[in-house]
Structure 1
Amino acid sequence: MNDKEEQYAFIHAYSTEYPVTKLVEITEVSRSGYYKWLKRNGSNNQDRIDESLFLYIHKIFTDNRGTVGRKRIKIGLKKDYGLVVNEKRISRIMRKYGLQCKVRRKKFKNRPQPNGLIPNILDRNFRAMRPGIKLAIDITYIEVEKGSQKWMYLCAIKDLFNGEIVAHSLGTNQGMKLVYRALDALKKRGFENRAIMHSDQGTQFTNHRYMKRLQEMGISQSMSRRGNCWDNACIENFFGHLKCEMPCFSHPETVIEVRQAVEAYIHYYNNKRIQTKLEMSPVEYRTQAA
């Protein structure tokens, strides 16, 4: 391949990201010469470029069981392979080779339980400057397909500094014991004095014993406004990912299998799953910050 052909190939590779006029100036070839080359063999060259990038994209896609989209693939390409590829090109290659990320539908609970005595301290400020100062707690359900037990319940506590699930508990009912076990796990993990614990207005979180437990732990309670799902979006976001992505890693049917699958997914979420705003996993971000 001569120098001009290499320059034409370079222009074609980046023509979806930058104007052709600018690229021909950089490479010092003529615009008409580029279009003649493109008519001659540009499409074949594009296929070769796409195919080479697809190998890396497919590796990231399959390693994450098809749960990653263009944003996280872009971060993965740069982080793992040193490749800078824009999202538009990644989307085009994924469509070309039939890769489709599972798209989750956002669902929020509208809990009717009112409690005007507890302020919304967090007030949708989901950013935290250090670990253990802003936490969010909630409960979700997971279907059990086999056996007499139809549902499992997960209570999770998320650190808003890095999005890490720092404590959780699983049980066959959503009573107060489920919440207390999660709080006990958080106590072992550690947090800052007067940390904020945010929740929605679920019955467990308006329970006076729960409020007393937070006071004893030195935690300030914050609560979403009535019927406002966005106030608690930070923890609902995790539950959405879990329900959409966990079946891609395994298909649990029994109580034991659900428990194992949830534990495995939380480990993956904390240690391996890239968060777009962090451009790394929660544990990697916490370790780097430390």
Structure 2
Amino acid sequence: MGRNRKSFTEQEIHTLEKNLNVLRVTGKNITYSPMFKAAAVRAYQEGQTPMEIFLQAGFQIEIIGRDMPKKCLLRWRKVYAAVGEAGLIEERRGKGSTGRKQKGELSVEDKLRRAEARIRLLEAENDLLKKLEALERQANKTLPSSERFHLINLVLRKYGLQRVTRYLCQIAEVSSSGYYRWCSAEEQRQIREAADERDFLLIKEHFEARKGKIGALVIKMRLERMNGIVMNHKKIRRLMRKFKLVAVIRKANPYRKMAKATQEHRTCPNLLERQFEQSVPEKVLLTDITYLRYGTGQWAYLSCVKDGTTKQILAHYLSSTLELSLVKRTLELLIKRLDGNVHPDAIFHSDQGMHYTHLITRRLIAEAGFKQSMSRKGNCWDNASMESFFGHMKDELEYKDCTSLTELRQRINEYVTYYNSERYQWTLKKMTPDEFRNHLIAA
């Protein structure tokens, strides 16, 4: 309803009554249809001016007056903001009207709808607060705004609420403008989410290929070499955390912490002095023995020789006993592999175990042309590179279910082949040990 002049003429009243958006006209007032008022507010929200709305609705501005569209839209928008579209439909005439029926005028159905709306709002408020508290307790930190926006959006959709966004934002302690910006960026988030899912499927493929026993760096190298895809290792870690891929790998190497705590021992006499990488293949040879428990409690013992530069496993032997023959057989396999091509300054480095201090072993090492070196007693990090291989092998190899030594030996042979020719290593310029050896020789 609106007024812009003292009175309409009979001809003007007749013209206005023909407009479908008008319910009735008196000499001084126009009563607009509820549907027109609601449509006018929506059109205004979409960017149309009051004048354009009234002209498109068939009103003649010279009859209703130039100020009337603006005044009507101002009043209708206030009613819409206060009580919604229903307020425009039920709007009462009179000064100070809110467009809402008085309590005494409400029907039983209206009262029930209002009560249900209040209950939904209380439930939504309680739900939002519970979710916020639970997530913050789980993360042990304050949730970022983006996660709070997501919770608000979930609650609004779950309870079918309208025009309470500002109130829920106040509860969640975020700005409503920030929430609307977050909503407008939904399309971009969906694009990023789809990209994350595609990348995750690639990561998962390599993760499962190694039975969950590789981390982000190994996955990165496999992606580059096998798929030709360059993916930042930080992104791989982020996606693994996001999709809850947890690698079954060892904890931080304790030798590293121990070494930091004993810096003064680095200058202690040692033929190798932990200079594992000599830039020359087969110059530094590291050896050690590890214990493997398998089957129903059986024990096996694995002796290996590792190239300190290329990380290749040059020789390995598995036995059911810890007799001296375990190391002797490993040396024989190493000598056979080298086929007489022994570096003149080759160092054979081990711990001070009885297998390596035994006269027979020392004679075999000398006859093969190696200079023997041993870790200082109690300094296990002097041979940490060899320990590192054993640690990775036990993480990545399924061996505990083996039922015989023959089956265990087969699996270890397969793993050593994989380790040498397929397992990319970050410190080898992202090459496999075999590739890195060829690279050094070619250089």
TM norm. shorter chain > 0.5: yes
Partner of 1:142: helix, strand, or coil?
Answer: strand
- Find the partner of 1:210 among 357, 361, 376: 361
Quick one: higher RCO (CA 8 Å, sep 6+), 1 or 2? 1
**Partner letter of residue 275 of structure 1?**
Q
The answer as to 2:323 corresponding to 1:161 is: no
The answer as to 2:203 corresponding to 1:47 is: no
Partner Cα separation in structure 2 for residue 260 and residue 93 of structure 1: 35
Range with greater deviation from structure 2 (199-208 or 55-64): 55-64
| Partner in structure 1 of residue 84 of structure 2 | none
**Partner letter of residue 235 of structure 1?**
M
The answer as to 2:420 corresponding to 1:270 is: yes
The answer as to 2:385 corresponding to 1:234 is: yes
Equivalent residues of 2:295, 2:400 under 8 A apart? no
Partner Cα separation in structure 1 for residue 200 and residue 294 of structure 2: 37
The answer as to 2:286 corresponding to 1:133 is: no
The answer as to 2:369 corresponding to 1:200 is: no
**Partner letter of residue 178 of structure 1?**
L
Query: Where in structure 2 are the equivalents of 1:47-86 lying within 5 Å?
Result: 47-86=193-232
1:4-25 Cα deviation digits (max 9, x unpaired): xxxxxxxxxxxxxxxxxxxxxx
CA change 1:107–1:144 in 2 (3 A) is farther
Range with greater deviation from structure 2 (163-172 or 56-65): 56-65
Equivalent residues of 1:194, 1:219 under 8 A apart? yes
CA change 1:44–1:123 in 2 (3 A) is same
The answer as to 2:292 corresponding to 1:179 is: no
Query: Percent identity, aligned pairs only?
Result: 38
Equivalent residues of 1:107, 1:240 under 8 A apart? no
Q: CA deviation at 1:205?
A: 1.0
Equivalent residues of 1:139, 1:174 under 8 A apart? no
Partner Cα separation in structure 2 for residue 163 and residue 201 of structure 1: 22
| Partner in structure 1 of residue 233 of structure 2 | 87
Q: CA deviation at 1:250?
A: 8.0
| Partner in structure 1 of residue 250 of structure 2 | 104
Equivalent residues of 1:140, 1:155 under 8 A apart? yes
**Partner letter of residue 256 of structure 1?**
T
**Partner letter of residue 209 of structure 2?**
D
Partner Cα separation in structure 2 for residue 38 and residue 200 of structure 1: 64
Q: CA deviation at 1:37?
A: 8.5
1:163-218 Cα deviation digits (max 9, x unpaired): 00001111111111110111111111113234101111111111122111111111
| Partner in structure 2 of residue 18 of structure 1 | none
Partner of 1:205: helix, strand, or coil?
Answer: helix
Aligned Cα RMSD in Å? 2.2
Q: CA deviation at 1:259?
A: 1.2
The answer as to 2:398 corresponding to 1:252 is: no
Q: Over alpha carbons, which structure has the higher Rg? A: 2
**Partner letter of residue 221 of structure 2?**
I
Range with greater deviation from structure 2 (120-129 or 71-80): 71-80
Greater percentage in helix: 2
TM-score with structure 1 length normalisation?
0.78
Equivalent residues of 2:315, 2:330 under 8 A apart? yes
- The answer for unaligned runs of 5 or more in structure 1 is 1-31, 109-118
1:24-65 Cα deviation digits (max 9, x unpaired): xxxxxxxx9xx7796232221111110111122122212222
Partner Cα separation in structure 1 for residue 396 and residue 351 of structure 2: 24
- The answer for unaligned runs of 5 or more in structure 2 is 1-177, 256-268
CA change 1:37–1:162 in 2 (3 A) is farther
CA change 1:265–1:107 in 2 (3 A) is farther
TM-score with structure 2 length normalisation?
0.52
Equivalent residues of 1:271, 1:281 under 8 A apart? yes
